[in-house]
Structure 1
């Protein structure tokens, strides 16, 4: 064996020894890191499964409450909804609270329903959910409260450009009509008609309101009445602008 080959073998042995020494030194760290990655992945997957499972259970409970309410068993529906509020996951507790308030309104418990919507408006972190709760409370207060009560909840929404603006304007207009402020009611209804993003069915309903005000002599014939000439033949579409299926659509203003 040549001297060069001997040196090469010795060098390889030394390098092998160094590698074994390095591996013995760092192996626990490498293995620990690998185990940590596996554990994190497992925990993440487990958490996702847990959330999905809870969300599925919450969804089933919500639909069970709907079925019970539709079947006339309000007590069972309220029990399911209360459990969902306390133990549900994701956004289902909020949906349950809205549905629970709707059941109260459906069963003639308007005062409790208004309080429930007000609590949602005060406690919800989502601006849209707060606005929805305010509009639903205002809808009930058109009949159960005063103009000041309705204004306290939706006057700001009616003046803004948010998605609930026209629902707020309609509730405000109906409350103004009830209070005898017919000119303000006409202006509220007309502002919905003038909104370029209003749906045609919503405009027709507002025109119907204005046409009725005209027929009663509550406003002057020269007031803005776009589409009002034909509105007496248009019936309000109660399915439009009704932001919650459990809250009855507002009737046209009557004396």
Structure 2
């Protein structure tokens, strides 16, 4: 008797599944196709992005080769082309390199390009700080010490990524302006920072030796 009931239950379940399939099969098939299409689309997107990155990488390397060969006008054009077309990572690198190429012929124009990068909130913090420091370095011969201080004081803070370069630039600017107290301040910060690169430390020591006795530490 129990076997009979089992057969009946199995038949009922089979009928229920058949009815469910007839009612919802179109949705099940459609859902499966959408999943397959989605996975395929994502794989295709990843492939295309990888191709774009590879092409941008090759173009970037070519632009660097032009720069290293002294072909700055051609290199600048190549970097600007990457700025217009490359994926975001290479686009940012190309903006920085394009400004560097312009610096060889027009430092003030290059400084403006770096300033634009430094003011761009869509750019990473580290890249913005680097652009700020590079812009200031290009203006060292023409900007006043107060202007340089306004540009770089925050970049010279204890935990700032490019504080060493910022401090050296400020020390040089103060020295050129005849503000020996300010020059000593920045040179002391360089000397007392255990993470100051050796080459920069040596330059700072050489500059400090040029200060008048009353301004020495």
TM-score (structure 1 length as normaliser): 0.77
Query: Contact 2:145/2:177 (CA < 8 Å) preserved in 1?
Result: yes
> Hey, what's the Cα distance between the residues in 2 that align with 1:144 and 1:56?
41
Q: Deviations over 1:183-207 (max 9, x none)?
A: 2112201101101222333322211
Specify the SS of the correspondent of 2:139.
helix
Q: Deviations over 1:129-186 (max 9, x none)?
A: 1111110011111113221331221012223421111211110000001101122112
Aligned counterparts, 1:123-202, within 5 A? 123-124=120-121, 125-202=123-200
Relative to structure 1, is the Cα distance of residues 172 and 13 closer, same or farther in structure 2, using a 3 angstrom cutoff? same
Per the alignment, residue 37 of structure 1 pairs with 35
Instruction: Answer 1 or 2: higher relative contact order, Cα 8 Å, separation at least 6.
Output: 1
Q: Deviations over 1:3-59 (max 9, x none)?
A: 776665555433322221112122222222222222221122112112111111111
Per the alignment, residue 243 of structure 1 pairs with none
> Hey, what's the Cα distance between the residues in 2 that align with 1:7 and 1:123?
75
Choose between structure 1 and 2: higher helix proportion.
Answer: 2
Per the alignment, residue 214 of structure 2 pairs with 220
Relative to structure 1, is the Cα distance of residues 19 and 151 closer, same or farther in structure 2, using a 3 angstrom cutoff? same
Relative to structure 1, is the Cα distance of residues 4 and 166 closer, same or farther in structure 2, using a 3 angstrom cutoff? closer
> Hey, what's the Cα distance between the residues in 1 that align with 2:97 and 2:10?
76
> Hey, what's the Cα distance between the residues in 2 that align with 1:8 and 1:21?
20
Unmatched 5+ residue regions in structure 1?
Answer: 225-255
Per the alignment, residue 118 of structure 1 pairs with 115
Unmatched 5+ residue regions in structure 2?
Answer: none
Query: Contact 2:157/2:163 (CA < 8 Å) preserved in 1?
Result: yes
Between Structure 1 and Structure 2, how many residues are aligned?
216
> Hey, what's the Cα distance between the residues in 2 that align with 1:97 and 1:12?
70
What's the Cα RMSD here?
2.0
> Hey, what's the Cα distance between the residues in 2 that align with 1:94 and 1:144?
27
Relative to structure 1, is the Cα distance of residues 9 and 220 closer, same or farther in structure 2, using a 3 angstrom cutoff? closer
Q: Does 1:78 align with 2:76?
A: yes
Per the alignment, residue 24 of structure 1 pairs with 22
Per the alignment, residue 234 of structure 1 pairs with none
Query: Contact 1:55/1:90 (CA < 8 Å) preserved in 2?
Result: no
Report how far residue 87 of structure 1 moved.
0.8
> Hey, what's the Cα distance between the residues in 1 that align with 2:182 and 2:6?
101
> Hey, what's the Cα distance between the residues in 1 that align with 2:61 and 2:184?
40
